[in-house]
Amino acid sequence: MSLPPLVEPAAELTVDEIRRYSRHLIIPDVGVTGQKRLKNARVLCVGAGGLGSPALMYLAAAGVGTLGIIDFDTVDESNLQRQIIHGVSDVGRSKAESAAASIREINPLVNVEIHNTALDRDNVREIFAQYDLIVDGTDNFATRYMVNDAAVLLGKPYVWGSIYRFDGQASVFWAEHGPCYRCLYPEPPPPGMVPSCAEGGVLGVLCASIGSIQVNEAIKLLAGIGEPLVGRLMVYDALEMSYRKIKVRKDPNCVLCGENATLTDLLEDYEDFCGAVSVEAQEAVVDATITAAELKEWQDVGKDIFLVDVREPAEYEIVRIPGATLIPKGEILSGEALSKLPQDRQIVLHCKSGVRSAEALAALKAAGFRDAVHVQGGVLSWIKQIDPSLPAY
């Protein structure tokens, strides 16, 4: 499916630009007008890592007028095997700053805008609104869902890519013309089911293979040429050296872009939605986790516990475990709620699924509440194991 150009052409190309982009200009489908569109385009790359490295370098070389980079991480030696926009001298340096320096060396005619911060619920809309197109180079499910949701809510197209070991995927998600990421993956995989690249590894050159596909799709969208991967998923197997395309249809029941969408704003907590927890939380729950059945047993025998619900007030109104006191996770992490917690009773934390309570548990243990525990599976486990009559949400 061909689509109209995403941006209007710039007024003109300079003599230097004509020299630099001459190999583009002589391609009939691109030509002077197409290059002017690239010059006038504003593209944001989320992440300056494995996928962001080749994407940023080729977007810059292609003459995209303004490139935004958002990344709060620093360059590590283990990055250099695949994140080719960085070098040995950049180790310890901000990835966004390092990438910007490389871009200026590749093409000084490109304007670079640096967002040296973590992308989150509070800033994603403001940052995305400044750009015509988003290139998603993230490596975790929480950020992928947030990128998708923000793009759909703002009406922005984005080019997505994913890599693992020898396998890569790429697609274009634009709810106005086709499916969104949630149409393909309505729910994130259970925690631990899909290892990260840090856990399972990735062939360095695979980043270039998928990153270059992303840039190819970005150029097609910006210039209005060819058939972008809207409604199609490109799957690449580097070991077999095979490409295949899978048709992805718009889900009429998608909670975000479907006919009767129920998700009309960004989620409060994407980490919770994806079941991701920090290293501190993973360490805190060791030998400090009980089941819903154990909690019920403690309540039945009258054990002196202080049960804390760390969800938000709106969730507490929907369903709650009997006897729980509402103290949102944010108040615990900030330290504001510590004075409300008894020192002479065992504290038991719970949330919806066990993710937020694990994070809160880590904060309590750091504050000296050594015997605090949390409920594995939270409210959902309580409903499943103890009281199925309660509403799951």
Amino acid at 35: Q
**Looking at the annotation, which residues are catalytic?**
197, 351
Extract the runs of DSSP E, i.e. beta strands, from 22-88.
42-46, 66-70
pLDDT at 199: 52
Residue 74, judged by CB atoms within 10 A of its CB (0-12, 13-18, 19+), counts as: middle
pLDDT at 196: 64
Question: What is the DSSP annotation of 91-105?
Answer: TTSBHHHHHHHHHHH
CATH 3.40.250.10 segments of the chain: 279-386
pLDDT at 279: 77
pLDDT at 39: 98
pLDDT at 195: 61
Cβ atoms within 10 Å of 345's Cβ, excluding its own? 13
Question: For the domain 15-274, what is the CATH code?
Answer: 3.40.50.720
pLDDT at 62: 98
Six-digit token string for 273: 């939605």
pLDDT at 268: 86
Question: For the domain 279-386, what is the CATH code?
Answer: 3.40.250.10
pLDDT at 281: 87
CATH 3.40.50.720 segments of the chain: 15-274
| Stated length of the chain | 393
User: Which residues of the chain fall short of a pLDDT of 70?
Assistant: 190-196, 198-200
Extract the runs of DSSP E, i.e. beta strands, from the chain.
42-46, 66-70, 111-115, 133-136, 158-164, 167-173, 232-237, 242-247, 289-290, 305-309, 325-326, 346-350, 373-375
Element of type H or E holding 50? none
